[in-house]
Structure 1
Amino acid sequence: MNRTAEFVLGLIGGITGIIAAGTTMLAGLFMTAASVATMEDFGSLFGFGAIAFGVLIFLMSGFAIVASCLIKANAKLWGIILIIIGGVGFVLIQLLWIVPGVLLLISGIMCVSRKPPYEDF
């Protein structure tokens, strides 16, 4: 069965997730650098936390790209995994994960809900 729409939505969701990860890590680097320059320990903690969240977003986005590439092999399994990645991202990351999460959830729901056409032998 042709799963091009699910593949493209999952791929775009993963790519936008990687962009969100880069933005988060860059903001964390700026917060850390600003707090080191002003001798604040609290800002440094937020900076390192943002870098850690950026790494988490990057890993989730990479796994979403792999899952979207493997949709044609087993659509139900990888669709459920895309739903899990999108949902966990909404719970953990919230604001930066809106666009990637929605795209991954739509892709996963399409994988799970679409039935293969009936073939009469």
Structure 2
Amino acid sequence: MNRTAEFILGLLGGIVGLFFSIGLTILGGLLTDFEMIMMVIGLLSVVFSVLGIVGSIIVKSKPKKGGILMLISAVGGSVCLIQLFAMSWLFLLIAGLMGIFRKGKTEKAIPR
């Protein structure tokens, strides 16, 4: 079955999340008050964003596993970045749910 929609949504979610995660990590390095906390949260969200990208790649061959990875990425990233991860969360959540619950087309047998 063609899983292009899940792949594109998961990839977009992972890339957007990675962009904001790296930005938060850099911002955490520049600030003086909460630099370690923000850097750790930024690095954790980088891990979740990469997990979303990996899930989007896997969803074509193993849709349930890829969908679960994208859902884990969506939940983990939203806990880390709250508002900054909103668009990524939406993309990864939709792609993850589609990967898990979308049924494949059944092929009809050709009578002989």
Residue by residue over 1:25-54, the C-alpha shift from the partner in whole angstroms, topping out at 9 and shown as x without a partner, is 12112203xxxxxxxxxx1xx111111111
Runs of 4+ in structure 1 displaced over 2 angstroms? Answer: 88-93
In the TM superposition, residue 86 of structure 1 has moved relative to its aligned partner by 0.7
Secondary structure class of the residue paired with 2:31: helix
User: Does the aligned pair in 1 maintain the 2:45–2:80 contact within 8 Å?
Assistant: no
In the TM superposition, residue 88 of structure 1 has moved relative to its aligned partner by 2.4
Counterparts of 2:86 and 2:55, CA distance in 1 = 19
Q: Is 1:23 aligned to 2:11, yes or no?
A: no
TM-score (norm 2): 0.90
2:83 aligned to 91, 95, 99, which one?
A: 95
Counterparts of 2:12 and 2:102, CA distance in 1 = 20
2:41 aligned to 53, 57, 67, which one?
A: 53
TM-score (norm 1): 0.83
Secondary structure class of the residue paired with 1:115: coil
> Please, what is the CA RMSD of the aligned residues?
1.2
More helix by share: 1
User: Does the aligned pair in 1 maintain the 2:51–2:69 contact within 8 Å?
Assistant: no
Q: Is 1:11 aligned to 2:11, yes or no?
A: yes
Q: Is 1:120 aligned to 2:108, yes or no?
A: yes
Larger Rg: 1
Give the aligned length. 109
Secondary structure class of the residue paired with 2:106: coil
Residue by residue over 1:2-38, the C-alpha shift from the partner in whole angstroms, topping out at 9 and shown as x without a partner, is 1111000000101001111111012112203xxxxxx
Q: Given residue 59 of structure 1, which amino acid in structure 2 is its aligned partner?
A: V
Structure 1, gaps ≥5 residues long: 33-42
In the TM superposition, residue 100 of structure 1 has moved relative to its aligned partner by 0.8
Structure 2, gaps ≥5 residues long: none
Counterparts of 2:80 and 2:18, CA distance in 1 = 16
